[in-house]
Chain A
Amino acid sequence: MSETPLPSPDPAVTAHLALRDVRKRYPGGRVALDGVSVSVAPGELVAVTGRSGSGKSTLLHVAGALDRDFEGEVRVLGRSLAALSDAEAAALRHASIGYVFQAFHLVASWTVRQNVALPASFAPAPVPDLAARVDRWIERVGLAGRGDDLPTALSGGQRQRVAIARALLMEPRILLCDEPTGSLDAETGASILGLFESLHAERAMTVLLVTHEARATAIATRVLTLDEGRLVDDVAQARGVA
Chain B
Amino acid sequence: MRAAALVSLVGRDLRRSMRTFWVAALGIAAGVATLVFFLGLAAGMRAVVFGKILPLDQVEVIPPESSVGSVLSMLGARPPGIDEAQARALRRAEGVRLALPRLRLAFPTSGRGGRAMFGRDVGSGEIPADGVDPTMVRGDLRPGADFEDPIGRASNRPCATDADCGAASGEFCDLVSLPVSGQPRPAGHCSPPIPAVVSPYLVEVFNGAIAPAHGLPRLGDLLLRQAEGLILEWDLGRAGLGAARQGTPRRVHAKLVGVSPRAMDLGVTVPMAVARRLNREYASEDAATRYSSVVVYLRDPSRMTEVAARVRAEGLEVRTRGAEQMGLLATAVTVILSLASVVTVLVAALNIAHGFAAMIAERRGELGLLRALGATRRDVRLLLVLEAAAIGAGATALGLAAGRAAAWGCDVVARTRLPDFPFKPDTWFVFSGRMVLGVLLFGVAACVLAALRPAWRAAKTDPAAALSGGVG
Chain A contacts to B: CB under 8 angstroms: 57, 61, 64, 66-67, 69, 86-87, 90-91, 93-95, 99, 101-110, 114, 118-126, 166, 170, 178, 183
The interface residues of chain A lying within 8 Å CB-to-CB of B371 are: 66, 90, 93
Q: Is the CB of B471 within 8 A of A121?
A: no
Determine which of B9, B462, B465, B470 lies in contact with A121 in the assembled complex, contact meaning CB atoms within 8 Å. Answer: B9
Q: Is the CB of B462 within 8 A of A66?
A: yes
Q: Is B420 an interface residue (CB 8 A)?
A: no
Determine, out of B29-37, B60-68, B374-382, B396-404, the stretch whose residues face the partner at the interface.
B374-382
The interface residues of chain B lying within 8 Å CB-to-CB of A122 are: 1, 5, 370, 373-375, 379
A213 → chain B closest CB, angstroms: 17
The interface residues of chain A lying within 8 Å CB-to-CB of B464 are: 61, 66-67
Q: Is B169 an interface residue (CB 8 A)?
A: no
Q: Is B365 an interface residue (CB 8 A)?
A: yes
CA distance A104 to B472 in the complex (A): 6
Determine which of A66, A105, A124 lies in contact with B366 in the assembled complex, contact meaning CB atoms within 8 Å. Answer: A105
CA distance A90 to B378 in the complex (A): 10
> B367-415: which residues lie under 8 A (CB-CB) from chain A?
368-379
Q: Is the CB of A90 within 8 A of B471?
A: no
CA distance A120 to B370 in the complex (A): 11
Using known A-B contacts A87-B376, A93-B374, determine if residue A103 contacts B472 with beta carbons closer than 8 Å: yes
Of all chain B residues, the one with the shortest Cβ separation from A109 is B16
Q: Is B8 an interface residue (CB 8 A)?
A: yes
Q: What are 30 sample pairs from A and B whose C-beta atoms fall under 8 A apart?
A: A61-B464, A61-B468, A66-B368, A66-B371, A66-B372, A66-B462, A66-B464, A86-B376, A90-B371, A93-B371, A94-B373, A94-B374, A95-B374, A99-B372, A99-B373, A99-B467, A101-B468, A103-B467, A104-B472, A105-B366, A105-B369, A105-B467, A105-B472, A119-B374, A121-B9, A122-B5, A122-B370, A123-B374, A124-B2, A126-B2
Q: Is B12 an interface residue (CB 8 A)?
A: yes
What's the dominant secondary structure at chain B's contact region? helix
The interface residues of chain A lying within 8 Å CB-to-CB of B16 are: 109
Q: Is B463 an interface residue (CB 8 A)?
A: yes
**7 smallest beta-carbon distances between A and B, as pairs:** A94-B374, A122-B374, A61-B464, A67-B464, A66-B464, A121-B5, A90-B376
Determine which of B366, B373, B468 lies in contact with A93 in the assembled complex, contact meaning CB atoms within 8 Å. Answer: B373
The interface residues of chain B lying within 8 Å CB-to-CB of A64 are: 372
The interface residues of chain A lying within 8 Å CB-to-CB of B8 are: 121
Using known A-B contacts A69-B462, A90-B375, determine if residue A103 contacts B469 with beta carbons closer than 8 Å: yes
Using known A-B contacts A66-B467, A104-B472, determine if residue A118 contacts B373 with beta carbons closer than 8 Å: yes
Q: Is B214 an interface residue (CB 8 A)?
A: no
CA distance A99 to B465 in the complex (A): 14
Q: Is the CB of A109 within 8 A of B15?
A: yes
A69 → chain B closest CB, angstroms: 7
CA distance A94 to B2 in the complex (A): 14
The interface residues of chain A lying within 8 Å CB-to-CB of B471 are: 102-104, 183
The interface residues of chain A lying within 8 Å CB-to-CB of B372 are: 64, 66, 93, 99
The interface residues of chain A lying within 8 Å CB-to-CB of B373 are: 93-94, 99, 118-119, 121-122, 166
19 further A-B pairs in the complex, CB-CB below 8 A; given A66-B464, A93-B371, A103-B469: A61-B468, A66-B372, A67-B462, A69-B462, A87-B378, A93-B373, A99-B373, A99-B467, A103-B470, A105-B368, A120-B5, A122-B370, A122-B374, A123-B2, A124-B2, A125-B2, A166-B373, A170-B374, A183-B471
Chain B contacts to A: CB under 8 angstroms: 1-2, 4-6, 8-9, 12, 15-16, 365-366, 368-379, 462-465, 467-472
CA distance A91 to B366 in the complex (A): 18
B6 → chain A closest CB, angstroms: 8
Q: Is the CB of A107 within 8 A of B378?
A: no
CA distance A95 to B470 in the complex (A): 26
CA distance A122 to B377 in the complex (A): 12
B386 → chain A closest CB, angstroms: 13
Q: Which of A90, A94, A119 has the most CB of B within 10 A?
A: A90
The interface residues of chain A lying within 8 Å CB-to-CB of B468 are: 57, 61, 101, 178
B369 → chain A closest CB, angstroms: 4
B2 → chain A closest CB, angstroms: 7
The interface residues of chain B lying within 8 Å CB-to-CB of A110 are: 12
CA distance A126 to B368 in the complex (A): 23
Q: Is the CB of B365 within 8 A of A86?
A: no
A30 → chain B closest CB, angstroms: 13
A65 → chain B closest CB, angstroms: 9
Of all chain B residues, the one with the shortest Cβ separation from A64 is B372
Using known A-B contacts A66-B462, A183-B471, determine if residue A91 contacts B374 with beta carbons closer than 8 Å: yes
The interface residues of chain B lying within 8 Å CB-to-CB of A103 are: 365, 467, 469-472
CA distance A178 to B1 in the complex (A): 27
CA distance A69 to B462 in the complex (A): 9
A73 → chain B closest CB, angstroms: 18
A153 → chain B closest CB, angstroms: 15
A127 → chain B closest CB, angstroms: 10
A24 → chain B closest CB, angstroms: 10
CA distance A71 to B37 in the complex (A): 60
The interface residues of chain B lying within 8 Å CB-to-CB of A166 are: 373
The interface residues of chain A lying within 8 Å CB-to-CB of B379 are: 90, 122
CA distance A183 to B472 in the complex (A): 11
CA distance A121 to B383 in the complex (A): 12
B156 → chain A closest CB, angstroms: 95
Determine which of A99, A114, A119 lies in contact with B12 in the assembled complex, contact meaning CB atoms within 8 Å. Answer: A114
CA distance A86 to B468 in the complex (A): 20
The interface residues of chain A lying within 8 Å CB-to-CB of B365 are: 103, 105
The interface residues of chain B lying within 8 Å CB-to-CB of A69 are: 462
The interface residues of chain A lying within 8 Å CB-to-CB of B463 are: 66-67
The interface residues of chain B lying within 8 Å CB-to-CB of A119 are: 373-374
B4 → chain A closest CB, angstroms: 8
